[in-house]
Amino acid sequence: MDSLTHIVLGACMGEAFAGKTLGRKAMLWGAMAQSIPDIDFITSLWMDTSSNLLAHRGFTHSFLFCAIITPLLALLAERLHRPHNINLRKWILFFGGTIFVHIFIDAFNNYGVGWFEPFSHKRISFNAIYVADPLFSLWPAIACIALIYLKRRNPKRKKWWRMGLGISALYLLLCIFNKYKIDTDVKEVLKKQQISYTRYFSTPAPLQNWLWYVVAGNDSGYNVGFRSLLDNKKEISFQYFPRNDSLLQPVNHLEDLQKLIRFSQQFYTVEKWSDTLVFNDLRFGQVIGWQKPREKFVFHYFLQHPQSNALVVQRGRFEGWNWQTAKFMLRRIWGN
C-alpha cells in the first residue's frame, strides 16, 4: 500500500496497543513500525533502476527481516519508556504484529513481496487491491485525525481505532470476494471465447475495486481487457499483444533485460518505438486502457536508454487523466 496508508494504520495499531499508557507516543511507534519495511527506498540512491525494482519489497518485506527487526525495536522501546507496565514480550508482539501487517497487506497489490527472501526470490502477489485505494485508506486516516485531537483518557478513542482498523479489514475481505467473482467470470468468458492461455492474472484498475484489468496468454502473446463487477454480458473485448521475443536478440546480453524478465514474472511484451526497444511489464496495466484499448502500458522500460527509466513503475500511471477520463471510467464501472 502507499506510505500514508501504512502510517495511519500503524498509528491506529499503536493506539490499540498502548494508547492509555503512552498516549500519542504509542501512535508514533505504530506509525514507525508500520512504515519500517519501506526503508528499502534508500537502495534507489545507489542501485540502477532494474536492480532497484527487485530490491523494492524484497528483503525488508520478508519474514526474516520481520524476525530480526522486531526484537531490536522492542528492546529500544522498552528501555526508552521505563518505568512502564509493558513487558518485553508485549512489545515484541506489538512490533511483530504491526510489521507483519505491513508485509501482509502489501502482498495484496500487484507489485509482489519477497516474503521468503533471501532463501527464495519468489514474489507473493494476490492482486486483490490497488496500491492506493481511497476506500481502504479513508477510515484509518479519519480515525488517526480523531485520535490526534482527543485527550488520552477520552473513552471515545477506543471506538475510533476500532472503526479505523475494522472497516479497512472488512473492505479488504470485500476486495478478496470481488477478485473471486471477477476470476470466476473471466475464466468462463475465456472458455466461451475459446481463448487458450497458460498464464493469467487480474488486478483492479486504479483507485477502486469494481473495474478490473485482466491478462491471459502464453509465450506467444497476451490478451488484455477490462471487466466490471456490474457487467451483465459474459463477454470481454480483448486486445491481443504479441510478446515479440524475437526483437530481444540484439539485447539478450543486457543484465537489465534478465532482471526485467524476472521482475515481470513472464508477463511482458516487447515493442519497437522508432529506433528504441521498449519492454512492457503488463502487470501494471494500461494508460487509461478502459477508454483507449490499444493505449501503451503503464510500465514501459527503454532497453537501450536505461538512463531514461527513473520512476518507471509510475511513468504512465495517471498519464492522460482528466475529468472526461474519470467520467468514462465511472460509466465503465457501471457496465456501460
Q: What is the pLDDT of residue 275?
A: 85
Res 37: pLDDT: 97
Residue 285 contacts residue 309 (beta carbons within 8 Å) = no
Q: What is the pLDDT of residue 313?
A: 72
Q: Name the pLDDT band for 152 (thresholds 50, 70, 90).
A: confident
Task: Summarize the confidence of residues 40-66 as an average pLDDT.
Answer: 91
Decide if pLDDT at 169 tops 90. Answer: yes
Residue 26 CA to residue 169 CA, distance in Å, equals 21
Does the pLDDT at position 310 exceed 80?
no
Is the CB of residue 213 less than 8 Å from the CB of residue 236?
no
The arithmetic mean of pLDDT across residues 123-129, rounded, is 96
Asked if pLDDT for residue 221 goes beyond 80, the answer is yes
Listed residue (115, 108, 114) closest to 136, CA to CA = 108
pLDDT tier at 124 (50, 70, 90 boundaries)?
A: very high
Helix (H) or strand (E) holding 134: helix 134-149
Q: What is the mean pLDDT of the chain?
A: 93
> What's the CA gap between 189 and 212, in Å, rounded?
14
Task: Calculate the CA 50 to chain-centre distance.
Answer: 18
E-strand spans in the chain? 199-204, 211-217, 221-228, 239-242, 268-273, 276-286, 297-302
Q: What is the pLDDT of residue 254?
A: 87
Q: Give the burial string for 27-37 (b: 16+ CB within 10 Å, else e).
A: bebbbbbbbbb
What backbone torsions phi and psi does residue 201 show, to the nearest 5 degrees? -155, 160
Query: How many other β-carbons are positioned within 10 Å of the β-carbon of residue 274?
Result: 5
Q: What pLDDT score was predicted for residue 320?
A: 83
Q: What is the pTM of this model?
A: 0.93
List the strands of the sheet with 297-302, edge to edge: 268-273, 276-286, 297-302
